[in-house]
Structure formats: C-alpha cells, structure tokens
C-alpha cells in the first residue's frame, strides 16, 4: 500500500499539483470577475445615471453627475483589478511553491518523525 501511495504521489499527484497552479489562478480571476470588471471599466458606479431634464442647466447638471459617477466607477474598478492581479500573483506563487515542494513532502515527513523520536 505504501508503494501505491508513493507511485501516486510522484506521478499523478505531482501532475495534479502542477495543474493546481492554473486552477488557483483561475479561481481568483473568477472570484473577482476580472473579465466583467474590464468590460465595465467606464460604466457608471452602481449604474447611477441622472436623467437629463428639460432645461440646459438640468442637462449640464445631469451630464456632470453622470461623469462623476463614471469616474468613481473607474477608480473603484481599477483598485479591484489591481487587487485581483495581486491575488492572482499570490495564488500563482503559492501553488508553484507547493508544486515544486510536492516531491519533498514525504521525505520531510520521515525526517521530522525520526528527529521527533530521537530529538
């Protein structure tokens, strides 16, 4: 049974550890809805749009309100996109370290067990 576990660990398990790099990175992208954020980058914040009135003053006021709403939406979406990029980089790095260290984990378990017993 130990040999079956080691065969899985160093074959299929290691391949799956490298596949987790893509999976974790895409999970962060999906969690932040990065494609939707990019598509709606210049959309008004929370779809707050002022309807223009009849007079020129009301139309200018509505245009200014809509411009401010779009600026707020842009700034917030840019911050969220940056946070998503940082999260994707961290997920990529963590899963890469895990995939690289994957073959050493059984050896480290044995070493720690022996050191704990004799230590």
- What value does the mean pLDDT take over residues 4-19? 88
Whether residue 20 is contained in a domain is answered as no
Spatial distance between the Cα atoms of 113 and 119, rounded to a whole number of angstroms = 9
Tens digit of each residue's pLDDT (9 = 90 or more) over 24-76: 999 999 999 999 999 988 888 777 677 777 888 888 888 888 888 889 989 99
Whether residue 76 is contained in a domain is answered as yes
The whole domain housing 44 covers: 39-119
Number of domains in the chain: 1
Whether residue 71 is contained in a domain is answered as yes
Tell me what pLDDT residue 119 has.
57
Whether residue 94 is contained in a domain is answered as yes
Whether residue 110 is contained in a domain is answered as yes
Which residue, among 94, 96, 104, has the nearest Cα to 9 in the 3D structure? 104
Whether residue 16 is contained in a domain is answered as no
Whether residue 22 is contained in a domain is answered as no
Whether residue 32 is contained in a domain is answered as no
Tens digit of each residue's pLDDT (9 = 90 or more) over 74-84: 999 999 999 99
């Amino acid at each position: 049974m130990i040999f079956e576990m080691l065969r899985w660990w160093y074959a299929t398990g290691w391949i799956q550890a490298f596949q987790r790099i893509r999976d974790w990175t895409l999970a962060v992208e999906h969690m932040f809805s990065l494609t939707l954020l990019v598509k709606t980058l210049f959309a008004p914040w929370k779809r707050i749009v002022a309807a223009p009135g009849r007079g020129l003053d009301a139309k200018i006021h509505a245009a200014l309100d809509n411009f401010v709403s779009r600026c707020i939406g842009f700034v917030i979406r840019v911050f969220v996109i940056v946070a998503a990029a940082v999260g994707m980089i961290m997920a990529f790095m963590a899963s890469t370290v895990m995939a690289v260290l994957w073959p050493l984990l059984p050896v480290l378990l044995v070493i720690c067990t022996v050191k704990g017993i004799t230590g």
